[in-house]
Structure 1
Amino acid sequence: MSTACFANRFAGKVLVVTGAAQGIGRAVAQRAADEGGKVLFVDRAAFLADVAAEVAGADVAAFNTDLETCEGAAAAMRFAKEKFGGIDILINNVGGAIRMRPYSEFEPKQIDAEIRRSLMPTLYCCHSVLPYLFERGGGTIVNVSSNATRGIHRVPYSAAKGGVNAITQSLAMELAEHNIRVVATAPGGTDAALRRIPRNAAGDTAAEHGWMAEVVQQVKHSSFMKRYGTIDEQTAPILFLASDEASYITGSVLPVAGGDLG
């Protein structure tokens, strides 16, 4: 769908988008800027500023930080306040399975790494943004979860995303009286450009390549549509939930996975 009909949907709004250097996060941040928002792109990737600069004429900025730490999350929110005067919308997109392997094959340090990547950034960012949303008198948090809460070879990642769902529902109940909505999407398998930063910096073993192929087969089989989604098909629901069009939706986790509810 053309973004023309949403040209000013985020006019006057300040958005913080995490994991904005590539994939879904990049598309969300760029489109939010195209739709009139002031957008802070947040990521630890060295090339983040180049990604933000691709949005010609928009009011955007880039901030490099490690969101796997509470200090990194707090620094990002402080910068957004300093740069744009406040925060209206936080989109938590950091996360992603590092390894694909049967649970019996995971080492303890690998389990910990999955939880740090796919749960802690959302937990820390939700906490760090609250003073700024309270200051605004309301706002919106959109968490990007996953339908992989039911799936093979990703149990630690699945547990992390189950935690994201729990954060979404519990925090929505707690914050409704403060005029703050908390919602999430649960994307399924998504076709995206080749990652500039690999999910597993150590590289995959031959066995992991085989297990990954099994994951792809399972994901497509579980989808009613028998295919992966596109970046645009994931971006649109996230920005709908972030917008005022979704003003009576909170505490919901929306599956975006071709019918697979996760």
Structure 2
Amino acid sequence: MPPVVSPGRFAARSVLVTGAVQGIGRAVADRVVREGGLVTVVDRADLIGAVADDLSALSPAGHRVVPVEADLETFEGAEASVRAALDAHGRIDVLINNVGGTIWARPYEEYSAEQIEAEVRRSLFPTLWMCRAVLPSMVAAGAGTIVNVSSVATRGVNRAPYAASKGGVNGLTSALALEAAPHGVRVVATAPGGTLAPERRVSRGGDARSDQEKAWYTQIVEQTVDSTVMGRYGTLHEQVAPICFLASEEASYITGSTLPVAGGDQG
């Protein structure tokens, strides 16, 4: 249960959340459902159906959460996700792009070409594709909000390809905000820092195995904590709250901004 809930904040609003099986995406979907949203959840893991069932039980109005199993590293997956939300609710008021995350932790010279491409596909392309897929419906409606989940790891050790991908998300946010504003569409982002979360239900595929890989990952953790003013990791609820604020009408005069949510680390 989130420590703070704003009942009715997303009442009758169609909200699409990607990467919703676990972590920040799952927690965002939980809060939006509790606040009355008409929610569509997307993930490439087949657990998404069970997650949607669990979330549906939380809806104060009895709304059914719509699950979509799709690979958002492809435009076809993004189009299918948008189509499912439009079919279910007739519109998409809010898109929350949460897919991404470091796969490997290592100095840049230790990455293979294939690993670099995989990091960019994981942490940049899902946001690019989803923004492209959702924009026509939002432009046609003359309204909409896109919230991209970036990262302060644009300044971080042992994950340069991920940092470059999230830098791309920041650039997309600011550039697309300029294009979309005349159509009544806002584009914003948060940049989370280190975040405490339950053990992952689905691995990203780059789990540290050797002692050297574990040491490189430890360097990431140490640098993340040292970079914060508050000297600790954040919680899922501390990440969800600003995402939901930016997604809501309370933030109606904010666009093109990326908000660091990292205990004082500005990225």
Q: Give 1:126's aligned amino acid.
A: C
Aligned-partner Cα distance in 2 for 1:177–1:137? 9
Query: Contact between 1:98 and 1:200, CA under 8 Å: does it hold in 2?
Result: yes
Determine the structure 2 residue equivalent to 1:17.
17
Q: Which runs of 5+ in 1 are unaligned?
A: none
Q: Of the candidates 138, 141, 146, which is equivalent to residue 136 of structure 1? A: 141
Q: Which amino acid aligns with 1:105?
A: E
Counterpart CA distance in 2 for 1:120 and 1:205 is 29
1:203 deviates by 5.4
Distance 2:181 2:27 in 1: 28
Give the Cα separation in 2 of the matches to 1:134 and 1:204. Answer: 47
Spell out structure 1 runs of 4+ moving beyond 3 A. 1-4, 201-204
In 1, the alpha carbon distance for the partners of 2:209 and 2:50 equals 28
Deviation at 1:2, TM superposition (A): 3.8
Look up the SS of the partner of 1:142 in the other structure. strand
CA distance in 2 between counterparts of 1:154 and 1:207 reads: 15
Q: Deviations over 1:168-205 (max 9, x none)?
A: 00000111000000000000000000001112257533
Distance in 2 (CA, whole Å) between partners of 1:194 and 1:94 is 17
| TM-score (norm: length of structure 1) | 0.97
User: What is the CA–CA distance in structure 2 between the aligned matches of 1:73 and 1:195, rounded to whole Å?
Assistant: 23
Give 1:30's aligned residue: 30
Q: Does 1:187 align with 2:229?
A: no
Q: Look up the match of 2:82.
A: 77
1:59 Cα deviation after fit = 3.1
Which is worse superposed, 59-68 or 110-119? 59-68
Runs (5+) with no aligned partner, structure 2: none
Asked if the contact 2:208/2:214 (under 8 Å) is kept, the reply is: no
Give the equivalent residue in structure 2 for 1:230.
235
Q: What is residue 49 of structure 1 aligned with on the other side?
A: 49
Contact 2:3 2:237 in 1 (8 A): no
Counterpart among 223, 241, 248 of residue 243 in structure 1: 248
What residue is the counterpart of 1:256 in the other structure? 261
Q: Is the 8 A contact 2:104 2:206 kept in 1?
A: no
Question: In structure 2, how many angstroms separate the alpha carbons of the residues matched to 1:35 and 1:135?
Answer: 26
Q: Are 1:16 and 1:87, in contact at CA under 8 Å, matched by a contact in 2?
A: yes
Letter aligned with residue 226 of structure 1: G
Identity percentage of aligned residues: 56
Quickly say closer, same or farther: Cα 1:91–1:106, change in 2 above 3 A: same
**Structure 2 residue aligned with 1:207, among 208, 212, 222?**
212
Q: Deviations over 1:55-86 (max 9, x none)?
A: 21333110000000011001100111111111
State the number of aligned residues: 261
Tell whether the 8 Å contact from 2:195 to 2:235 is kept in structure 1 after alignment: yes
Match of 2:203 among 188, 198, 206: 198
Which of the numbers 114, 125, 133 marks the counterpart of 1:109?
A: 114
How much does 1:30 deviate?
1.3
Cα 1:60–1:233 change in 2 (3 A) is same
Partner of 2:151: 146
- How far apart in 1 are the matches of 2:16 and 2:74? 17
The residue that corresponds to 2:226 in the other structure is 221
TM-score by length of 2: 0.95
